[in-house]
């Protein structure tokens, strides 16, 4: 067994990942970047981050750094080709129309006690089911997609990402890592539409564990159109999709590809003290680069099916990082859940089982290493030493895959864990607890 323990709530660095995985950081956007800056290197992998593969991609991300000015750590281990998952940044902002909130907007701008039920979403696809035109998708979605510019490490406009308009009230969905530094420092955040108009944005709420954030752009509500929300559960591997965002600061960029895989466990995060993000991802070969994070992944009916959040890159000796056709998006179903919670309460919750787990060395399950007193696991009868092999018939082979499977649910859901205890297999039902994050 690995000697590190992992709690399903605190999410420290995870073992069982095939390679060193990095957070792509906010892309520098204060000025037009040069070609040389586009090709700046990312931090080289650390020896301690490399562990044997228990599960195919993905792996762990390290903390975000500005894309245009990362430190070089020398060729060393970077000379070894390996997959490094990079959180690709996009971010987005959309507009809002005049809207009377139930509470004082001066105290809680953008909040709504009814969540998504209290705002005007677009649920009907704008295009026909048999549409085969990427150009038609771009025409429909570009007015709904925005570039996000945020303060970063004390630099005004030092980070850029992407996002999209969620509703007619001016709520914008993006990745948490796009605006996280600005949120912590009370920095300025702006969104820029396809016509280069800028609007000030405020943060309604954000989730570190799901890497999602909701912004409020009151002044743009009557100027931008919300995107239609679809379903990722109906996607098929091989189906065409389109990614829209601001890669490398290049706003209103459209790329296309296919769905490469579904339900791909991807772990992103930073230092051990930080919460990691777990994505039950839609994998795509549509070109996604730093600056794309937070932007929409769209089907050919013009419906948002995911939020582009991570990419894999080849750790070449030069340290160059960019798209190699392996990108990951947060499913739109999770976006709905998290956005609804944020609109209601200004914060999001995620489910936990109340146990610390470690990956079994054989890669055939996840060992319960400690059960939290009074937590869901103890109430359900889970014991230290149990080896979890499945969750609701979904095979789990390491701690990240178990946590991703858990976080695909919501607090209060009851899941069935198939565990081995004393050489015998049994099913144990667990009602998931909740934690804010």
- Known catalytic residue at 3: no
| Cα separation, 90 vs 321, whole angstroms | 16
Cα dihedral 269/356/397/349 (nearest 10): -50
Of these residues, 19, 144, 177, 401, which one is catalytic? 177
Can you give the chain as a three-state secondary structure string? CCCCCEECCCCCCCCCCCCECECCCCECCCCCCCHHHHCCCCCCCCHHHCCCCCCCCCCECCCCCCCCCCCCCCCHHHHCCCEEEECCCCCCCCCECCCCCCCCCCCCCCCCCCHHHHCCCECCCCCCCCCCCHHHHHHHHHHHEEEEEEEECCEEEEEEEEEEECCCECEEEECHHHHHHHHHHCCCEEEECCCCCEEECEEEEEECCCCEEEEECHHHCCCCCCCEECCCCCCCCCCEEEEEECHHHCCCEEEEEEEEEEEEEEEECCCCCCCCEEEEEEEECCCCCCCCCCCEEECCCCEEEEEEEEEEEECCCCCCCCCCCCEEEEEHHHHHHHHHHHHHHCCCEEEECCEEEEECCCCCCEEEEEECCCCHHHHHCCCCCCEEEEECCEECCCHHHHHHHHHCCCCCCEEEEEEEECCEEEEEEEECEEEEC
CA 175 to chain centre: 6
Do 158 and 189 touch, CB atoms closer than 8 A?
no
Do 42 and 22 touch, CB atoms closer than 8 A?
yes
Do 165 and 181 touch, CB atoms closer than 8 A?
no
- Known catalytic residue at 133: no
Of these residues, 7, 108, 211, 285, which one is catalytic? 211
Do 92 and 296 touch, CB atoms closer than 8 A?
yes
| Cα separation, 324 vs 283, whole angstroms | 12
Of these residues, 246, 256, 260, 293, which one is catalytic? 293
What does DSSP say about strands 145-152 and 366-371: parallel, antiparallel, or unpaired? unpaired
- Known catalytic residue at 293: yes
- Active-site residue set: 177, 211, 293
């Amino acid at each position: 067994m690995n000697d590190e323990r992992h709690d399903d709530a605190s999410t420290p660095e995870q073992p069982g990942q095939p390679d060193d995985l990095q957070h792509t950081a906010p892309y520098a956007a204060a000025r037009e970047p040069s070609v040389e800056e586009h090709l700046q290197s990312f931090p080289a992998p650390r020896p301690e981050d490399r562990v044997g593969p228990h599960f195919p991609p993905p792996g762990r991300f390290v903390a975000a750094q500005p894309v245009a000015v990362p430190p070089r750590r020398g060729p060393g281990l970077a000379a070894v080709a390996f997959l490094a998952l990079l959180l690709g940044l996009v971010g987005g902002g959309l507009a809002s129309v005049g809207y009377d909130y139930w509470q004082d907007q001066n105290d809680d701008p953008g909040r709504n006690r009814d969540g998504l039920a209290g705002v005007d979403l677009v649920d009907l696809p704008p295009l026909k089911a048999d549409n085969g035109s990427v150009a038609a998708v771009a025409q429909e979605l570009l007015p709904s997609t925005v570039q996000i510019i945020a303060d970063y490490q004390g630099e005004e406009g030092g980070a850029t990402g992407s996002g999209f308009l969620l509703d007619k009230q001016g709520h914008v969905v993006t990745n948490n890592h796009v605006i996280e530094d600005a949120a912590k420092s009370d920095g300025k955040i702006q969104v820029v539409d396809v016509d280069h108009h800028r609007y000030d944005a405020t943060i309604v709420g954000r989730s570190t564990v799901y890497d999602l954030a909701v912004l409020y752009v009151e002044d743009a509500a009557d100027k931008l159109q919300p995107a239609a929300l679809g379903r990722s559960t109906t996607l098929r591997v091989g189906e065409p999709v389109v990614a829209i965002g601001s890669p490398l600061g290049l706003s209103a960029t459209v790329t296309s590809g296919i769905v490469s895989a579904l339900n791909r466990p991807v772990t992103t995060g930073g230092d051990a003290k930080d919460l990691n993000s777990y994505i039950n991802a839609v994998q795509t070969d549509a070109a996604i680069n730093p600056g794309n994070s937070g932007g929409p992944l769209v089907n050919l009916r013009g419906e948002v099916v995911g939020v582009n959040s991570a990419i894999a890159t080849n750790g070449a000796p030069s340290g160059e990082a960019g798209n190699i056709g392996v990108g990951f998006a947060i499913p739109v179903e999770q976006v709905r859940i998290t956005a609804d919670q944020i609109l209601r309460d200004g914060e999001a919750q995620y489910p936990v089982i109340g146990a610390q787990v470690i990956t079994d060395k054989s890669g055939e399950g996840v060992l319960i290493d400690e059960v939290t007193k009074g937590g869901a696991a103890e109430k359900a009868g889970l014991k230290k030493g149990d080896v979890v092999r499945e969750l609701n018939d979904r095979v789990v082979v390491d701690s990240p895959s178990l946590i991703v499977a858990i976080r695909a649910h919501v607090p209060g859901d009851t899941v069935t864990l198939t565990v081995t205890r004393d050489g015998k297999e049994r099913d144990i039902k667990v009602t998931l607890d909740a934690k804010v994050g």
